């Protein structure tokens, strides 16, 4: 439990130093479980079928108990481009997770994807947005 608290404090310090002038949070991706040693090695390109680990860091302490993590693919099917939701999952935050959330998922189709995280009290304005590719 102590290692998680140290990891959390480290990430918060990095987040505030690297530009906390935003009202948005931060999403980091990696192909291995995110730890204190590899948290700054953000990866954007993944192979099909590989695990995509992510770390969401909130812009401020979240008062809501739930967040929604949504992944959608960017398509060129429409004239101006389009998107298709490929994954949506709600997570309950524990008391010690009010500033972050980490998990993983797997995708099997190539393309450009976008992940966004919402608070359950506001589905119009995401807390964080980031993109990645599957090759």
Q: Residues 11-64: pLDDT tens digits?
A: 554 554 444 444 789 999 999 999 888 888 889 999 999 999 999 999 888 888
Q: Is the Cβ–Cβ distance between 28 and 55 less than 8 Å? A: yes
Q: Which domains does the chain have, with CATH numbers?
A: 2-134 (2.60.40.1930)
Q: What is the structure's pLDDT at 79? A: 63
Strand order in the sheet with 45-46: 45-46, 128-134, 111-119, 66-75, 82-92
Q: Is the Cβ–Cβ distance between 71 and 117 less than 8 Å? A: no
Q: What is the structure's pLDDT at 12? A: 52
Eight-class DSSP state of 91: E
Average model confidence (pLDDT) for the chain?
Answer: 84
Q: What is the structure's pLDDT at 21? A: 42
């Amino acid at each position: 439990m102590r290692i998680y608290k140290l990891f959390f404090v480290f990430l918060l310090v990095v987040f505030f130093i690297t530009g906390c002038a935003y009202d948005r949070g931060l999403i980091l991706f990696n192909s291995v479980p995110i730890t204190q040693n590899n948290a700054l090695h953000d990866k954007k390109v993944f192979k099909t079928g590989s695990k995509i680990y992510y770390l969401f860091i909130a812009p401020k302490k979240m008062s809501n108990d739930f967040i929604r993590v949504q992944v959608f693919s960017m398509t060129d099917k429409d004239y101006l481009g389009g998107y298709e939701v490929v994954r949506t999952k709600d997570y309950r935050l524990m008391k010690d997770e009010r500033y972050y959330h980490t998990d993983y998922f797997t995708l099997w189709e190539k393309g450009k994807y976008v992940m966004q995280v919402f608070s359950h009290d506001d589905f119009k304005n995401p807390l964080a947005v980031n993109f990645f590719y599957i090759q």
